[in-house]
A and B are shown apart, each in its own frame.
Chain A
Amino acid sequence: QQQVKQSPQSLIVQKGGIPIINCAYENTAFDYFPWYQQFPGKGPALLIAIRPDVSEKKEGRFTISFNKSAKQFSLHIMDSQPGDSATYFCAAQTGANNLFFGTGTRLTVIP
């Protein structure tokens, strides 16, 4: 059973567009929600993260929106660039071992 459900599977936007990736979870014990960015042939890299007591967090062009009552969170990428083309994973965690990943979204930003 997938602990974190992620959509869409793939996404194509024009340069300057705002891609949005959505994730949902069921376990209310999760207390940390990170997003990871992965380029081909590389390991995932932590991009931005949020705790459930905050509804929004911004770091540069990346924003997480968090809806605790709906158990959903999303990643927005403002003014997207071709260099943002990568696979993005949402995740949810409680404790040292309980880090569960979504299935990933392959983003392509067209120049």
Chain B
Amino acid sequence: NAGVTQTPKFQVLKTGQSMTLQCAQDMNHEYMSWYRQDPGMGLRLIHYSVGAGITDQGEVPNGYNVSRSTTEDFPLRLLSAAPSQTSVYFCASSGNSYGYTFGSGTRLTVV
């Protein structure tokens, strides 16, 4: 039972490049979310999904896109990377919208 798996663990991008952060869970959870963690700011919600085919914006959605074609996968796309998107990104899932299980994170640096 792997839980929530995020890839890659580390990534360096140049300004303007695009990329997709992958997230997969094997717990059959309906609820999935993406957060970014910045020093002194806690974790902030980027996008979330309440089931396959259903997504919505969180607190800081600008510059990011998501889709949810299956229950298991919830990729996060950076359309045109900016230095302000340098952060640690966490994917999380929950079976009942409470008590989220987090992945181990992707550390992204945009230069």
Q: Give A residues with C-beta under 8 Å from B.
A: 2, 4, 6, 9, 32, 34, 36, 41-46, 49, 89, 93, 95-97, 99-104
Count of A-B contacts with CB under 8 A? 56
**Does B74 belong to the interface (CB within 8 Å)?**
no
A103 & B98 in contact (Cβ 8 Å cutoff): no
Q: List 14 A-B contacts (CB under 8 A).
A: A32-B98, A34-B98, A34-B99, A41-B105, A43-B105, A45-B102, A89-B43, A97-B33, A97-B45, A97-B48, A99-B33, A99-B45, A101-B43, A101-B44
User: Which residue, B45, B94, B100, has most C-beta atoms of chain A within 10 A?
Assistant: B100
Q: Which residues of B are found within 8 Å of A95, using beta-carbon distances?
A: 97
With A99-B45, A102-B42, A103-B42 already in contact, the answer to whether A44 and B90 are too (CB < 8 A) is: yes
- Report the separation of the CA atoms of residues A103 and B100 in the bound assembly, to the nearest whole angstrom: 18
Indicate the size class of the contact surface on chain B: 20 to 34
With A96-B31, A97-B48 already in contact, the answer to whether A46 and B41 are too (CB < 8 A) is: no
**Does B101 belong to the interface (CB within 8 Å)?**
yes
- Report the separation of the CA atoms of residues A6 and B31 in the bound assembly, to the nearest whole angstrom: 26
